[in-house]
Structure 1
């Protein structure tokens, strides 16, 4: 089953640009909304169908660094934090790959109560306040003649073989600057249960000399650069003057009916932002504030 890989946020996903964010989560078994409602653990605050004892999360089983079945992703760790802060006894997952129909077959079907990573502005769910803001990054080997470039329109990128995931926001800016003619385009839909993520593949191709640089969603680039001990520079693309924006706010997604649940989560985010940031930084996620300045602690 194909899923969005290398593009995010979590992960892909869940709105027009979500294909470019890949911060995803989705599940395999189908259940009718009526059947799922009947099996809900009980009414939450204000009559909302949110489980009060277990944090029920919709997640992709193989989408690092966001989530995986072994609980190793940063969204897994964040879910544990949310459970603790909301008095839940445990976390349970509804697993579904990051493909079309994710929200409809998980959150909307009441099989779970929360999507951990959702790009702000999507219309399929109700978003909480953003708990981090990240950005696409330009990745190149240290010592490269690309050093110093900090925008897609920089002349140093002209004629370079730049890796990019198809249909993600950077492709539009690259096309406007004539960079797609020499680009290496990687597929958006891959099944990372059986193949490596596009971020990992790009870094391997860069090491082998198949590409000169890459433009990747920051959380994926940062994580795989750290995991692979890649000797690369990661430059946040926060200085683009035109075209698609490169920075996005990432939220948690809940059902539109669950207003009190949304307020509860907003309180958790507000009161635990420092701890959330530390978890993200553990995974080498490039996080930026509203003024595009890096958050480092």
Structure 2
């Protein structure tokens, strides 16, 4: 799950963001802490399709792009995306940036956002549900729906009378040993559930690479809170304004290349207000 996910999500997602511990007192907050010899990235080694130790995640590709633009070698500090992630990586000065963080997360200083995405409905491509666009559609009451426990769409499911058919999957896990998102998608694939609701940057790439029989539908018509779209930034240490501005400049100048990486991965991109799917040329 994205780092951002973690308290909003809770994001409960990005919850998971809900669990990060605050950096301890006394941590320096100046640009002097940023390495000048490497682009040091804090990342989960088992958080595919976002980050992976083998470099296959789309956040890995973004890290490679930024390291190249900075003309610095890429260096990772690997740590599971769970309690203590920020304290033990960014806060401990073992790295200088988290590639994916929800805008407004209080544990980091956010750069400008480089993408906006939304929660999605994942259904079999040839089912009647493939034309569903919102959670009030009565057809959804006829099937079991998988959802990550505690994520924002759960409130919308409750509002629309869908929780009685919900199958919950764990929100905060060590992805090295457990993968609830894969379990959730596998259950749709094998018919255990009829649909799933999942954060788009997870659902889109996984469906594109492994589930050609399913479709991913961004949920852009839910107008009541909580919102289901999020602007994703890079997270740096509090006080690192010089570093933040440098990354902002790179995001602004290389947005087309960033978009190309995200689209190639299968990430569903939406406009900044979460009302329309963006069409990005490839």
- Provide the rounded CA distance (Å) in 2 between the counterparts of 1:245 and 1:53: 40
Q: Residues 131-210 of structure 1 correspond to what in structure 2 (within 5 A)?
A: 131-195=114-178, 197-210=179-192
Alignment correspondent of 1:123? 106
Alignment correspondent of 2:221? 239
| 1:102 counterpart = 2:85 | yes
Pairwise CA RMSD:
2.4
CA shift, 1:147, in A, is 3.1
TM-score normalised over the length of structure 2: 0.90
Deviates more, 1:216-225 or 1:143-152: 143-152
CA shift, 1:16, in A, is 5.0
Q: 1:285 to 1:270 in 2, by over 3 A?
A: same
| 1:76 counterpart = 2:76 | no
Deviations 1:189-233 (A, max 9, x none): 2222123x2222122111221100000100111111122133112
Q: 1:15 to 1:164 in 2, by over 3 A?
A: closer
Q: Residues 33-112 of structure 1 correspond to what in structure 2 (within 5 A)?
A: 48-88=32-72, 90-112=73-95
In structure 1, list runs of 5 or more residues that go unmatched: 1-7, 25-30, 38-42
Deviations 1:23-67 (A, max 9, x none): 99xxxxxx9988x97xxxxx9xx8521111201111101100111
- Provide the rounded CA distance (Å) in 2 between the counterparts of 1:155 and 1:204: 24
- Provide the rounded CA distance (Å) in 2 between the counterparts of 1:147 and 1:47: 49
| 1:20 counterpart = 2:13 | yes
Q: 1:99 to 1:264 in 2, by over 3 A?
A: same
In structure 2, list runs of 5 or more residues that go unmatched: 18-22
- Provide the rounded CA distance (Å) in 2 between the counterparts of 1:93 and 1:120: 22
- Provide the rounded CA distance (Å) in 2 between the counterparts of 1:176 and 1:130: 30
CA contact (8 A) 2:4 2:15 kept: yes
| 1:282 counterpart = 2:275 | no
| 1:228 counterpart = 2:210 | yes
- Provide the rounded CA distance (Å) in 2 between the counterparts of 1:178 and 1:149: 16
| 1:268 counterpart = 2:250 | yes
| 1:259 counterpart = 2:241 | yes
CA contact (8 A) 1:59 1:94 kept: yes
Deviations 1:133-159 (A, max 9, x none): 111111111221223211111112113
- Provide the rounded CA distance (Å) in 2 between the counterparts of 1:233 and 1:286: 11
- Provide the rounded CA distance (Å) in 2 between the counterparts of 1:47 and 1:213: 46
CA contact (8 A) 1:115 1:252 kept: yes
TM-score normalised over the length of structure 1: 0.86
- Provide the rounded CA distance (Å) in 1 between the counterparts of 2:112 and 2:40: 19
- Provide the rounded CA distance (Å) in 1 between the counterparts of 2:176 and 2:186: 18
Q: Aligned pair count?
A: 275
CA shift, 1:9, in A, is 2.7
CA shift, 1:18, in A, is 4.2
Deviates more, 1:114-123 or 1:151-160: 151-160
